[in-house]
Amino acid sequence: MSWAAFIHVPLGPVLLGVLSHVTVFIRGEWHMRVPVLITTYSCLITALLWIEYSISGSSKASITIVGRITGLYATGLLGSIIIYRRYLHRLRDFPGPSLAATSKLWHVWKSADGKNHLLLERLFNRYGPIIRTGPEELTIINAAIPHIIDGSKSQFRRATFYDAFLPMVAISATRNVDDHDTRRRIWNRGFSSKALAGYESLMLRYTELLASQIQNLLSEESMGTNSREVIINVTDWFAWYAFDVMGEFAFSKSFNMLRDGKWHSKIRLLVDGMNAGGTFGKVPWLVQLGKIIRPRVSLVKDWDSMLQWCRDCMDERLQWLINAYIGDGSQQAELAWLQGDAVTMIIAGSGTVSIVLTFAFYQLARDHSQQQMLYDEIKDVNIYDGLKLQECAQLTAFINETLRLYPPVPTAGNKVTPPQGVTINNTYIPGGVTIVAPKYLIHRLESSYESADQFIPERWTTLPDMVKDNRGYVPFSQGKYGCIGKQFAMTEMRLVISLLLKKFKIEFQANDNKGEALFEDLKDNFTFCTRRFTSEISVKESCLMLGGWFRRVHTFSSNIRRSYAM
C-alpha cells in the first residue's frame, strides 16, 4: 500500500498517532520542545495541504481531507496516551483521581481558584498519604519525606516546574546540579553570619520607616479631631517593606514603595505573574506555549517587561563590570547569572516575608496573651542588636509556629526521584517520578504535632512534648536546595514584630469577624498570597486599627495601640 493510500484509510492516521506515542513521546521530557513540535506539525500539515491540493485541485476538499487525517492522528495519539497512563503506567496502582492520572490539566482546572493547599488536603483525607496527582507525579504527606528529598545525601533533583523561568538562569531556578552547586558556594559567602551583620542596618532603616509611615497616617487623620479614623492596607505595607529591602539588597536601589505609599508598577507585574505561574506552572508545556504566543498574552508580555526592567537595574549596578568585560563570553554568562539571581532573590525574599508577617499579626490580634508575652520579653531588649533579638526565645517560637501553620511556600518545591528509585515507608517509587511534599499538610500532621491545627508557640519552648516528630518541619527547606536567605528573613521578621509591638497594641477591628475572610480568600500560587484589599482603620484616643491583609484578602483588620497603653 502506498503512503498516500495508507493515510487516507481511517485506521492509518490512528495507527500513526499510536506509533508516535509508543516510540517517541513516551520517553523523556517534551515540555521544552513545544516550539519544535508546533513548527514540525505546522510544516507537516502545510505539506499535506499542498499535496492534497495538487491532486484534487480543490481548496475545500484539501482542507476537509487534511482536517480528517489530523483528527484521526490526534485521536490515536491522545487515545494511546490516555490508555497507557490510566491502565499501563508504572504508577497505575497508586490511588488518586482518575483524571489526574490522565493529565495535569485536571490539576490546573481544580486549583484554578488558588486553593491548591485545600485540594491536596481533601485528596489526603480521601486517598491517604501517597496520592497520584499527575501522570508522572505523586504527592506524599509524611514527616520523613522532606529529609528524603532534600537531605544532605539526597540524589533528588528539581522537577520540570523550574523550567518555567528559562531562558533566565538563576540559582533558585536551575535544574542543573553542577551549576546550582557552583552558584550556591558563591552565594553562601554573601549570606554568612558576618555578612548578615552588615545587612542589619539596612533592615533597621526600612523597619523604622515602616513604623514611621504608620504613625504618620495616624497623625494625619487625627488632626483637628478627637475621634480618629483612617484607611490602611496593612498587607500592602508589609509587602512594600519586604520588596524595598530586597530591592536595596539586590540592586542597591529601593523601589520606594514604603516612602510613596503605593505599589511600583513593575512589582505589580511581578506579583501578578507569580500568581499566574503558580497555577499554570503545574503544566510546564502550557508555560512554554504562552511564551510562543506572547504577543497575544498580556500577562506574558508584562512578565517579560518586568524581567527586562530587573535586568536593566542589575546592569546599572554593574555597569563597570559590563564595560570592563564587554565581548567576553564567559563574563557575559556570569552577568546573565547575576541578573537571574537578582530577579529570583526579589521574588523569594519579598512575598515570603510579607505573608509570614501577615499571619504573625493576625495571630497577635487573635490572641492578646501572646501579644502581652512577646511585649514582656522584648520591652527591655535593645532590638537594634540582632544577637539580643535572637536570644528572645518566645519571639523565635512565635515565628516558628507561624511558619509551621502558614509556610510561605505551602505546596511547591517539587523534586524528581533518582534513576534507581526510592523506598518510602516500604513503598517503592520508581525513578524519574515527580514528588510533591506539601509543607502545609506535613506541618499539620497529628502524628507529628499534638493539637496540630492550633497555634501554640509554647510547643517550641516550654511544651516540647507537643512536638512528637519534628523531621517534617522545614519551612525554609533544607540541604543544598534550602533557602539561602533563611537568617536574613528571620532577622527581618524579628525586627518588624518587635519594633511594632514596642510601639503599638494590635486588635481586630470591631466589625472584622476575627479575620475569617483572610482564610476564605487565601491563595496558594507557589507562595501563599492574598487579595489586595483596603479596609477601615479606626483610631480612638491612642488606638489605631489596621486592616486589609496582603495581596488577596477581604477584611482582616487589626487595632494597634501605643504600647504604653498596655
Residue 328: all three cell numbers together: 567576553
How many other C-beta atoms lie within 10 A of the C-beta of residue 252?
12
Count CA within 13 A, CB hemisphere, residue 69: 23
Q: How are beta strands 137-140 and 434-436 bridged, if at all?
A: parallel
- Cα 76 to Cα 2, 39, 79, 446, distances in angstroms: 20, 20, 5, 47
DSSP letter at 139 equals: E
Phi/psi class of residue 530: alpha, beta or left (left: φ > 0; alpha: ψ in -120 to 50)? beta
The long-range contacts involving 272-276, CB below 8 angstroms and separated by at least 24 positions, are 272/299, 272/302, 273/299, 273/302, 273/303, 273/306, 274/347, 274/351, 274/525, 274/526, 274/527, 274/529, 275/114, 275/523, 275/525, 275/529, 276/525
Residue 516: all three cell numbers together: 475569617
**Three state DSSP letters for 229-268:** EEEEEHHHHHHHHHHHHHHHHHHCCCCCHHHHCCCCHHHH
> What does the longest C-alpha to C-alpha distance in the chain come to?
94
Count CA within 13 A, CB hemisphere, residue 533: 21
The kind and range of the H/E element at 528 are strand 527-529
CB 411, CB 524: distance < 8 Å = yes
Closest CA to 219 of 537, 551, 547, 557: 537
CB 303, CB 290: distance < 8 Å = no
How many other C-beta atoms lie within 10 A of the C-beta of residue 497?
25
User: CA–CA separation, 353 vs 372, rounded Å?
Assistant: 23
The answer to whether the annotation marks 483 as part of a ligand binding site is yes
User: CA–CA separation, 49 vs 44, rounded Å?
Assistant: 9
Give the residue numbers of the binding site for heme.
483
Binding site listing = 483
